[in-house]
Amino acid sequence: MIAEGALEHPKVEAIFGMHQIPEDPIGTLGWRSGPVMAGSDTWHLTLHGVMSHGAAPHRGNDTILMAAEAIQALQAIRSRRIDPVKPFVLTVGTIHGGNRHNIIADKVELSGTMRTFEPAVRERAIALIHETLKGVCAIHGGSYEFTLHVDANPPVDNDPRLAAAVRPLLANLGKVIDHDPIMGAEDFAHYQRKIPGFFLFLGTGNPAKGSVSGNHTPTMNLDEDALQTGVAALVTMAWGHADIRP
């Protein structure tokens, strides 16, 4: 949309966005100035080995074993190689490999996500991922291909001036809470690289209605009564911007 001129025709002065959060009580509006959501990278890993009969593992290079050790070793990047006060998450989301119960697999494919707030942490993590995978593969006589997808999202960073200006406006709609940063990501961040932007969290959790499960779970069931507050918040911020623009 940015490439096609969505911010230019007409010229957009500011942008406001919102995400529902089941962990927050219904009716709350989660506010934060500055960094609020992490940047994200999607990655894909292919491990290559040599196929052999399961009864003769010494004749092959077992990528199932490589994958098991790689997953464990990659988690040590978070626990032992990155400054513990720096936000960082490395998640393995999928793993696929093997043809049959009695065959040593010659290929395993994994994919996952990486979340960071700081470019230096991201670059350090990428270097450590390669270092770790080279070591694991060297031990087992295999090789690897590691790819970061082009759909990376930068961190969501709320414009301080907008954040300060909308807070009193939002206070008239519901309970405004100071929200901690989260490791979730949003492509809304791409707009913020071009124009001032503010991103808000809408609380949709309500134990009385069974709305307690988090996003991306099979039992997620938001309380839709929160939508009225959400719409009102977006309209209020948009209209209110007329009074707070330079």
| Residue position matching structure tokens 């470019």 | 119
Among 140-144, 171-175, 195-199, 204-208, name the one with the lowest average pLDDT: 171-175
Chain mean pLDDT for the chain:
95
The neighbour count for residue 8, using CB atoms within 10 Å, is: 10
Q: What is the 8-class DSSP label of residue 60?
A: S
Mean pLDDT of 35-61: 97
Inform me whether the pLDDT recorded for 240 exceeds 80: yes
| Largest Cα span, the chain | 75
What the chain holds in terms of domains, given with CATH numbers, is 15-37+155-244 (3.40.630.10), 39-148 (3.30.70.360)
CA distance linking residue 82 with residue 62, whole number of Å:
29
Inform me whether the pLDDT recorded for 246 exceeds 70: no
Residue 245 pLDDT class (50, 70, 90 cuts): low
Residue 151 pLDDT class (50, 70, 90 cuts): confident
Residue 118 pLDDT class (50, 70, 90 cuts): very high
Element (H, E) at 54: none
pTM for the model stands at: 0.90
| Residue position matching structure tokens 């694991």 | 136
Which pLDDT value is given to residue 130? 98
- By residue count, the chain amounts to 246
Which pLDDT value is given to residue 150? 83
Which pLDDT value is given to residue 133? 98
Which pLDDT value is given to residue 178? 97
Residue 244 pLDDT class (50, 70, 90 cuts): low
| Residue position matching structure tokens 């966005």 | 17
Inform me whether the pLDDT recorded for 23 exceeds 80: yes
Q: What is the C-alpha R_g of the chain?
A: 23
Residues 6+ apart with CB under 8 A from 56: none
Residue 190 pLDDT class (50, 70, 90 cuts): very high
Mean pLDDT of 160-178: 93
Helix (H, G, I), strand (E, B) or coil at 101: coil
CA distance linking residue 230 with residue 194, whole number of Å:
24
CA distance linking residue 179 with residue 173, whole number of Å:
17
Residue 117 or residue 27, greater confidence? 117
Mean pLDDT of 221-227: 92
Which pLDDT value is given to residue 198? 97
Residue 79 pLDDT class (50, 70, 90 cuts): very high
